[in-house]
């Protein structure tokens, strides 16, 4: 049965196959996530990419959910954290959150997954630490800053998911929304039909910036300056 000239699945097939490791698994999973999204990210698919069986992954990773947490950690870790500057804190908040949003968008589905069970890892804490510091540098009160960090998180996740949707079918979605709004009977939906243009106005970037500014303005209004 042994055929020396054509060994089945020999290690020589692939150039210097790296040994299995937690990092190799994370890297393989990230590649799949980036190219095909969360739906395609199965333990079996990751294992296949590493030329092994799904069961082998469990030595290094505590199941799929733990893998997702590791991926989220890695992704959040790539976001550059500005050192709080009271003069430019507001723009720093914008760039921090836009950076997080973009990192999430690059890995379709991870934002939604992270929302369902939010990771409390050190990397996530580092980002929260930074965001809180920026808000406090802006003169926002302690309790307000803490709650505002939460509000802003919601906006980041929401913007990421929305952007992912538009990326998969950029024109299709926009057109669909427009027609849906236009098709509505004006008698029953007077407000929507008369505001259809405003509802679809602005790209992701613009709307995101607006949302952050509205939240910051709102919380600043209750901080005696």
Chain-centroid distance of CA 77 in Å reads 12
Decide: is 218 part of the binding site for DNA (CB under 7 A). Answer: no
How many chain residues are in contact with DNA, going by CB under 7 A? 21
Nearer to DNA, 22 or 195 (CB): 22
Nearer to DNA, 14 or 206 (CB): 14
Binding mask 95-124 for DNA (x = CB under 7 A): ------------------------------
Cα(220)–Cα(122) distance, rounded to whole angstroms?
29
Region for residue 202 given its phi and psi (left: phi exceeds 0; alpha: psi -120 to 50; beta: otherwise): left
Closest distance of CB 65 from DNA, Å: 6
Q: List residues near its own copies by CB under 8 A.
A: 112, 115-118, 120, 125-126, 128-129, 132-133, 136, 142-143, 145-151, 153-155, 157-158, 161, 165, 176-177, 180, 184, 188-192, 195, 198-199, 201-202, 207, 210-211, 213-219, 221-222
Decide: is 56 part of the binding site for DNA (CB under 7 A). Answer: yes
19 contact choice in DNA, its own copies, none (CB below 5 to 8 Å, kind-dependent) = DNA
Considering only residues 37, 49, 64, 81, which one is a binding residue for DNA as defined by CB under 7 A? Answer: 64
In the Cβ-directed half-sphere of 116, how many Cα atoms lie within 13 Å? Answer: 9
Nearer to DNA, 48 or 95 (CB): 48
Binding mask 6-45 for DNA (x = CB under 7 A): ---x---------xx-------------------xxxxxx
**What percent of the residues of the chain are helix, what percent strand, and what percent coil, each to the nearest 5?**
70, 0, 30
Closest distance of CB 63 from its own copies, Å: 15
207 contact choice in DNA, its own copies, none (CB below 5 to 8 Å, kind-dependent) = its own copies
222 contact choice in DNA, its own copies, none (CB below 5 to 8 Å, kind-dependent) = its own copies
Location of structure tokens 């296949």: 48
Cα(173)–Cα(192) distance, rounded to whole angstroms?
18
Find the angle CA(153)-CA(108)-CA(118) to the nearest 5 degrees.
35
User: Quick check: helix, strand or coil at residue 222?
Assistant: coil
Find the angle CA(70)-CA(107)-CA(161) to the nearest 5 degrees.
115
Q: Which of 9, 5, 50, 51 is nearest to 26 (CA)?
A: 50
Cα(138)–Cα(215) distance, rounded to whole angstroms?
13
Contact between 113 and 72 (Cβ < 8 Å): yes
- Rule CB under 7 A: which residues touch DNA? 9, 19-20, 40-45, 51-56, 58-60, 63-65
């Amino acid at each position: 049965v042994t055929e020396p000239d054509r060994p089945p699945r020999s290690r020589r097939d692939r150039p210097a196959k790296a040994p299995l490791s937690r990092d190799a698994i994370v890297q393989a999973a990230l590649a799949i996530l980036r190219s095909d999204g969360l739906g395609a990210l199965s333990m079996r698919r990751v294992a296949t990419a590493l030329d092994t069986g799904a069961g082998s992954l469990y030595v290094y990773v505590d199941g799929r959910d733990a893998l997702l947490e590791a991926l989220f950690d890695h992704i959040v870790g790539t976001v550059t954290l500005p050192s709080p500057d009271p003069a430019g804190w507001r723009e720093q908040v914008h760039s921090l959150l836009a950076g997080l949003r973009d990192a999430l968008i690059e890995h379709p589905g991870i934002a939604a997954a992270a929302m369902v069970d939010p990771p409390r890892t050190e990397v996530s804490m580092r980002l929260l630490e930074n965001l809180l510091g920026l808000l406090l540098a802006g003169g926002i009160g302690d309790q307000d800053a803490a709650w505002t960090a939460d509000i802003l998180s919601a906006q980041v996740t929401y913007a990421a998911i929305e952007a992912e949707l538009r990326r998969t079918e950029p024109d299709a979605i926009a057109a669909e929304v427009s027609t849906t709004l236009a098709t509505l009977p004006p008698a029953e939906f007077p407000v929507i039909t008369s505001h259809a243009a405003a509802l679809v106005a602005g790209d992701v970037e613009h709307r995101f910036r607006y949302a952050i500014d509205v939240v910051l303005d709102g919380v600043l209004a209750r901080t005696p300056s």
